[in-house]
Each structure stands twice: as C-alpha cells, then as structure tokens.
C-alpha cells in the first residue's frame, strides 16, 4: 500500500512540473493551473524534458487523429491530472469517447477539481445534460473519469463498460510514465487484453529506457529512496525491450525512439523558440536525461501501421 502511495504521488510531481513549464511559456495549457496550485520554478533541464515529452506525445496523437474518421476513442491509462481532453476540445476535436483511468485516490481529487470548476465542467461535451459523480468516478457526455487499479483486469473491464467503451472504433491508449510502475506480468496481461478486444488500436507509452547503465541505476536508486520503486523496469532496459513488451502481447507492430530523436523530430522553429526561454547550463545533463527516456508505440490492425515520429 505504501508503495502505491509513492506511485500516486508521482502525479503531483508531474503536474507541478507541467505547470512550471507552462508558466515559463514552453507550451500553452490554460487548464493545468486548475489542477495544481502555484509551484516553484523547476530547473531548465526539467522544463525542457517536459516540453519534449508533451510535444513528442502530441505529435503522435496528431498522427492518430489524422488516420481516424469521425468516430474514435481515447483511453488514458494512469491519466493523473492530464488536461488533453480539454485541449483537444479547444482545438475543435470531438472525440467520440474519452476515458481516463487512475487509482481512486487520484481520480477522486480530479473529480473534486472538475466539480468545483465551472470552466472545466462547462467545456465537457454533454449532449443529454447529465453528469454523474460518485466519490471517485464521473461520467458526463463523452468524458469518463474512473478510479481503478490497472493491475486488476476484471475491474478495469467493469469500469470501461461503465464508461460506454466501444470496442469497434479506432482507439488510442496513452500511458505517460505509468507502465513503469506496474509489474511486468500485470502489464503483459493488460496489453494482451487490449489486443484481444480492440481490432484497431494504437498505444503510446512514454517512460524510462537504458535503465541498466550507470546513469539509469542512479535514477532507479533515487526513485527507490523516494518510496517509488519501478516495478516494470524490466521493459525499460533498451528500445528493444520496450518494443518487446508489445510484440510479446500480440500487437501487430511497435516502434520506439529515445528522447534525443523525439526532440529532433519537433519542428526547428519550435525548438529555437523554447531554447531561448531560459539559459541551459547543464546541456550534458539534459542529453543524458533524453537518452534515458523514450516513447514507444504499438499498433493493432492496419489503420495505424508504421506510424513514425518524423
């Protein structure tokens, strides 16, 4: 239980870092401050790291959106206080169904923030005017937020059914810094379940890589010391082990890039803009961090075959 608390706290960390970078002007997100109060300024390499993560994931989300028609679904696993739903709405996307899952302790806080914030609530696309809240879950139009332990597949299935999941439409799964906290066997069961149920699916996972080298070992020890062991670290040894996780659970294909490559895939004009925001002294450290994080995608069915970051 204590370990789970350490894992849940990683959401506060991620949300604070995102807010810090947004405040500095790295990217726009008018919603993140509705979930996290003011926070101290983070180091430039942290802000840049988050910029690369957010932009890299977004490039791939946009590729998914380009390949689908008018009916599609997004399922964010371990969503924390992510604001993608509202951002897509602002950009004119009408997602058929958007489902967020996280531990009940995290979703209950997110429910609370949404409930008391008119902007967040009013922007949810509610056709029938009905919003249902429980302590940990909310169901409103095309937006569903549900509390569940992703290691418990029976419950995951139940919660998705309550969220009107549609197995027949193209579906994007996102897990941003999540699978690394889940035991290898449980992730294998989750990924296998997804491929057995969703004929057209794409999965975007962002997390650590090269965890077997010296720098990776120091990162692991730091996280352990903060009460947060990486139970799924076996898949984070290389880009090959990252892809292997998808191949071993019957996905049709997979690709993976470290964050150096992801950063280079971001348009030059955007990189130039953010590189002028603040002075970066620790260039070497940023490169090492970039070499120790990656984005891996998996696809099932022909619709998302061979999607590339470039």
Structure tokens at 273: 């803009």
Among the residue ranges 3-11, 36-44, 250-258, 271-279, the one whose residues contact ligand SAM (CB under 6 A): 3-11
Q: Which stretch binds ligand SAM (CB under 6 A): 78-86, 159-167, 239-247, 251-259?
A: 78-86
> x/- site string to ligand SAM, residues 82 to 101, per CB under 6 A?
x-------------------
State the minimum distance, in angstroms, from the CB of residue 180 to ligand SAM.
9
108 closest CA partner among 147, 66, 77: 147
Q: Is 102 in the site for ligand SAM (CB under 6 A)?
A: yes
Q: Which helix (H) or strand (E) holds 56?
A: helix 44-67
- DSSP letter string, 78-99: T-TT--HHHHHHHTT---SEEE
Which two three-digit tokens encode residue 198?
């969703």
Structure tokens at 150: 């992703």
Please name the residues in contact with 22: beta carbons below 8 A apart, sequence gap of 6 or more: 28, 29, 32, 33
**CB closer to ligand SAM, 204 vs 279:** 204
Work out how close the CB of 181 gets to ligand SAM at its nearest, in angstroms, rounded to a whole number.
Answer: 4
Told to check if 78 binds ligand SAM by CB under 6 A, we report yes
Nearest-angstrom CA–CA distance, 103 and 149: 5
- Restricting to residues 132-161, name those near ligand SAM by CB under 6 A: 149-151
The reply to whether 103 sits near ligand SAM by the rule CB under 6 A is yes
Q: For ligand SAM, how many residues bind (rule: CB under 6 A)?
A: 20
Judged by CB, which is closer to ligand SAM: 43, or 303? 43
Calpha distance 11→13 (Å, rounded): 5
Residue 219 within binding range of ligand SAM, rule CB under 6 A: no
- Is residue 202 within 8 Å of 298, Cβ to Cβ? yes
- We find the least distance from the C-beta atom of residue 268 to ligand SAM, in angstroms, to be 26
């Amino acid at each position: 239980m204590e370990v789970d608390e350490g894992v849940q706290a990683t959401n506060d960390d991620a949300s604070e870092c995102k807010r810090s970078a947004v405040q500095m002007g790295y990217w726009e997100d008018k919603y993140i401050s509705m979930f996290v109060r003011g926070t101290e300024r983070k180091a430039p390499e942290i802000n840049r790291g988050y910029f690369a993560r957010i932009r890299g994931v977004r490039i791939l989300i946009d590729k998914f959106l380009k390949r689908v028609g008018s009916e599609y679904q997004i399922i964010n696993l371990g969503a924390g206080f992510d604001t993608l739903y509202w951002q897509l709405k602002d950009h004119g996307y009408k997602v058929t169904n958007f489902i967020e899952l996280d531990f009940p302790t995290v979703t209950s806080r997110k429910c609370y923030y949404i409930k008391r914030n008119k902007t967040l609530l009013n922007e949810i696309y509610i056709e029938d005017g009905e919003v249902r809240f429980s302590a940990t879950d909310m169901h409103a139009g095309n937006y569903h937020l549900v509390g569940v332990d992703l290691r418990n597949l029976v419950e995951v299935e139940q919660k998705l059914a309550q969220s009107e999941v549609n197995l027949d439409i193209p579906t994007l799964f996102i897990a941003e810094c999540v699978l690394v906290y889940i035991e290898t066997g449980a992730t294998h069961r989750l990924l296998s379940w997804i491929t057995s149920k969703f004929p057209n699916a794409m999965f975007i996972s962002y997390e650590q890589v090269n965890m077997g080298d010296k720098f990776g070992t120091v990162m692991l020890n730091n996280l352990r010391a903060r009460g947060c062991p990486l139970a799924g670290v076996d898949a984070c040894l290389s880009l090959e082990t990252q892809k292997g996780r998808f191949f071993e659970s019957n996905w049709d294909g997979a690709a993976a890039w470290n964050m150096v490559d992801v950063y280079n895939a971001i348009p030059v004009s955007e990189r130039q803009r953010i590189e002028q925001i603040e002075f970066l002294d620790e260039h070497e450290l940023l490169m090492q961090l970039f070499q120790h994080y990656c984005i891996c995608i998996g696809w099932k069915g022909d619709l998302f075959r061979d999607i590339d970051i470039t």
